[in-house]
Amino acid sequence: MRMTLHRFDLPLRHVFTTAHGSQNVYRALVVELEQDGWRGFGEAGQSAYYGQTCAAMAAVLERLRPRIESQRLDDPAEFWDRLREEFLEDRFAQSALDCAAHDLWGKLCGEPLWKLWGQRLENCPLSDYTIGIDSIEAMAAKLREYPGWPAYKIKLGTTDDLAIVAALRAHTNAVFRVDANCGWTAEETIRNSLALRPLGVEFIEQPLQPDDWDGMRAVYAQSALPVIADESCRTESDVDRCQGFFHGINIKLGKCGGLRPARRMIDRARQLGLRVMAGCMCESTVGISAVAQLLPLLDDADMDGARLLGRDIAAGVHVERGRADFPSTGGCGITLLSDAMSCAIEI
């Protein structure tokens, strides 16, 4: 097996702002694994909040290059397990490698990954489309730019949160989900939930700081809306902790280390009666095609990352008005576009 690393700086369609900060460029590391003439791809994005940079991720993978390239891929789960202890806290790099391995494995087998897992695509949940924080007028314009989606995720954490949601409600009858990205207090969350419910909000994602478990206990007991853990649920060990504090979890591949642990998190969440969502950051179609393989196992999905980009680098699973269109090719169905390398940055 041979590994190649690609670095991309991809402009966003609009400046993307959350309670954590703003960005106008998405920086990605794409891992390419090649074996027997087939190539698999996986992606992880740079994240200031999680302390991840493309350079650091690349350094981890370069350190492990001899071990990675000395192996033959027969089962991506066993591949992940053999390398697990090497990554320690470097889960973003681990995820990019794991997704590349799953994509390659499916291509070697000649079947889509979801099919190899014994899943079906009927009744998959539809994805929402995310509206980043901005002026109310700009947020309304972003919503109008992508009409017809079944649900919109509205980023909040401002002094005008309720006014934002009320104003956007005038432009669509679609379901709303709100994501405060740790920007509220427990009291605000409880109060806001009462006002947001009549506005057609389905649930609130990560209202409090990740370690505010006392506050979440009060929110869980008193909120008029379900609450979903994101920053509070990063890895497998966090799922059990969320029971009794959240009604569901949002799994992100970069946070947990890839598709292998994500599937275990889904299984455990089901055992605990938790709602299960899988989400994204601003990944290209490389990353979106990987997370889309989990769709048959989910209640909710946030897979709009590639739609937030001004330029994509791959073809694969395409999300249009919330519905995922899966290619018939093997693995995650990922192919880099012919001109992708023209915007690659040397590592």
pLDDT in tens, 44-94: 999 999 999 999 999 999 999 999 999 999 999 999 999 999 998 899 999
**pLDDT above 80 for 346:** no
Residues 125/300, Cβ–Cβ less than 8 Å: yes
Which 3 state secondary structure label does DSSP give 7? strand
Domain ranges of the chain: 2-112+337-345, 116-332
The separation between CA 209 and the C-alpha centre of its own chain, rounded to angstroms, equals 19
Rounded Cα distance, 246 and 226, in Å: 7
A 10 A CB-CB count for 202 gives 17
The values of phi and psi at residue 276, to 5°, are: -125, 125
pLDDT in tens, 296-329: 999 999 999 999 999 999 999 999 999 999 999 9
pLDDT in tens, 94-152: 999 999 999 999 999 999 999 999 999 999 999 999 999 999 999 999 999 999 999 99
What burial class does residue 211 get, using C-beta atoms within 10 Å of its C-beta: 0-12 exposed, 13-18 middle, 19+ buried? exposed
- May I ask the CATH class of domain 2-112+337-345? alpha beta
Residues 242/249, Cβ–Cβ less than 8 Å: yes
Instruction: Mark 14-27 as b/e (b = at least 16 C-beta within 10 Å).
Output: bebbbbbeebeebb
Domain 116-332 sits in CATH at: 3.20.20.120
Per the prediction, the chain carries an average pLDDT of: 97
Give me the helix-helix angle, 161-169 and 186-196, nearest 10°: 20
